[in-house]
Structure 1
Amino acid sequence: MLLAIDAGNTNVVFAVHDGAEWRGRWRIATRADRTSDEYAVWLMALLQHCGLKVADIDRCAIGTVVPAALYNLRRLSREWFNVEPLVARAAVDWGFEIKVDRPQEVGADRLLNALASHHHYRGPLVVIDFGTATTFDVVDADGAYLGGVIAPGINLSIEALHKAAARLPRIGIGRPQAVIGRDTVAAMQSGIYWGYVGLIEGIVGRIQAEHDKHLKVVATGGLAPLFGEGTTAIETIDPDITLEGLRLLAERNPVTTSHKSIHRDSH
């Protein structure tokens, strides 16, 4: 089975795929100083809860945009699962061209999203990922990655608004009943929600115009369903795009050798 690890700026998502389906998905807050043993204690209990054993894991793929977290995630794979992990980076075989000036600067999550979206939906397409940043990535009909757009994430914008303006409270995100807010919180919620809908529609529209043909629009990330309700610009919502990218990348780049590690009787 494959252990897929998607380490973002806010959360690290762990998931297990048995070759036919995802057997479990779990997330933990991203913390660069979290040790491999801390990850293991937490993860082992969740695997057991789903009826899975350490011995079931024979492959591991890691995608991370937090370089400081990679060391301990690698140690987790090597020491607890006895598996040498595949790390998603520009140098591996993606199966498509990365047509940007500096491929090594492109976040692994963006390339993983491009890989899985093209595999499942074909192109040309735009992938919107509602994460710590809101990203728009463009994939052509052949699956090549063409670049994209990076905007501040929704929660980041809410936090910045609260911290920078003394009288504005911290709010939760939701779809307002009306555009015109009758109090401060409603006005802020409207500005964030409909402001981001405008961002989505505006950027997608400009990408479509620049590409000079229709592109399918696929959205992922925890807030994708919420914003999908507010605009017809989003055609498909797929919460597993990044994990699917890790699965597909692992299939293209098999790691055949196990890592020789210290035996742990507690397994």
Structure 2
Amino acid sequence: MERDGRALHGAEGDYRLVVDAGNSSTKLGIYAGRRQVLTTRCTEGLADRVERLLAEYPVARAIISSVAQREEELRALLGASIPVHVLSHRSTLPFRVGYSTPETLGRDRLAAMAGAAFEFEACPLLVVDLGTAITYDFLDAAGVYHGGAISPGIGLRLASLHEHTARLPLVERGEDSPLVGGSTADCLRSGAVWGVVAEVEFYHRKLAEQHGELKLILCGGDADFLHRRLFYCNFVRPNLVLDGLNRLTECNA
């Protein structure tokens, strides 16, 4: 995916490779300063994809957000000639971590909150990452990250209902999700999609009651789909994790 526009920071030739490696797929981004040049996702052939990117762009540094078992693989792919930072709760971040078990905190959650905190300074934030799992992450007005919640994503809800019942079919999310389902398939879609909508709106409303007005930022694979169904949503940032990782290269050289 291409994004037009000049870099906001750093020389145009300041190329950075950002890597968000999960359990089932890896998302890669190339940035020139703060300008996103491309993003790509792969479920296999990671070594070939990285090799092609490094051959095409003069990458000067890289940052990795990864599940633990993939760190060494990614370091080996990038080679010793490129400075590589592996994101953790010990990295320099634009907020304080108030999580009671920071060593267990998903690094993609740190990266997404960093992306939001860099863009929206000095205000409370709720970042909702709508992927396989849905994560809710809250940053207060004092710049303290408190954590949030984790729940099943839309696809996981649909798959779970199929796998753990005798007769419910496996259905795809689809683009049309009627509130009142007129068939079993539509009932499943309604429960999964509108259940997530209700969950997001409830979580945002309760936090706003406790902490005052706060910005709601959606990211992840279902962000574009869900925001059209929400009563209230400030911003959609599908690549917030990669954008956050890119900004973190500037303070974790």
The TM-score, its normalising length taken from structure 1, stands at 0.83
Give the count of matched residue pairs. Answer: 238
Q: 5 Å matches for 1:33-48?
A: 38-45=45-52
Shift of 1:204: 1.6
Change (3 A) 1:248 1:143: farther
Percent identical: 30
Shift of 1:147: 1.4
Tell me if 1:58 matches 2:72: no
From the CA coordinates, give the structure whose radius of gyration is larger: 1
Q: Verify the 8 A CA contact 1:176 1:190 in the aligned structure 2.
A: no
Where 1:58 maps in the other structure, the secondary structure is strand
Q: Verify the 8 A CA contact 1:114 1:143 in the aligned structure 2.
A: no
2:74 aligned partner, one-letter code:
L
Provide the residue aligned with 2:36 in structure 1.
Answer: 22
Tell me if 1:85 matches 2:84: yes
Q: Verify the 8 A CA contact 1:13 1:26 in the aligned structure 2.
A: yes
Q: Verify the 8 A CA contact 2:219 2:240 in the aligned structure 1.
A: yes
Provide the rounded CA distance (Å) in 2 between the counterparts of 1:151 and 1:167: 24
Shift of 1:23: 1.4
1:16 aligned partner, one-letter code:
I
Change (3 A) 1:20 1:149: closer
Q: Verify the 8 A CA contact 1:175 1:189 in the aligned structure 2.
A: no
Name whichever of 69-78 and 177-186 sits farther off.
177-186
Provide the rounded CA distance (Å) in 2 between the counterparts of 1:74 and 1:174: 38
Provide the residue aligned with 2:145 in structure 1.
Answer: 145
Where 1:91 maps in the other structure, the secondary structure is coil
- Ranges in structure 1 where 5+ consecutive residues have no aligned partner: 255-267
Q: 5 Å matches for 1:3-22?
A: 3-22=17-36
Q: What do the CA deviations read for 1:29-74 (whole angstroms, capped 9, x no partner)?
A: 2xxxx7xxx52323334666xxx24xx011010012x211111011
- Ranges in structure 2 where 5+ consecutive residues have no aligned partner: 1-14
Provide the rounded CA distance (Å) in 2 between the counterparts of 1:100 and 1:222: 25
* Pairwise CA RMSD: 1.8
Shift of 1:235: 1.6
Provide the residue aligned with 1:224 in structure 2.
Answer: 223
Where 1:115 maps in the other structure, the secondary structure is helix
Provide the residue aligned with 1:164 in structure 2.
Answer: 164
Provide the rounded CA distance (Å) in 2 between the counterparts of 1:133 and 1:252: 29
The TM-score, its normalising length taken from structure 2, stands at 0.88
Provide the residue aligned with 1:99 in structure 2.
Answer: 98
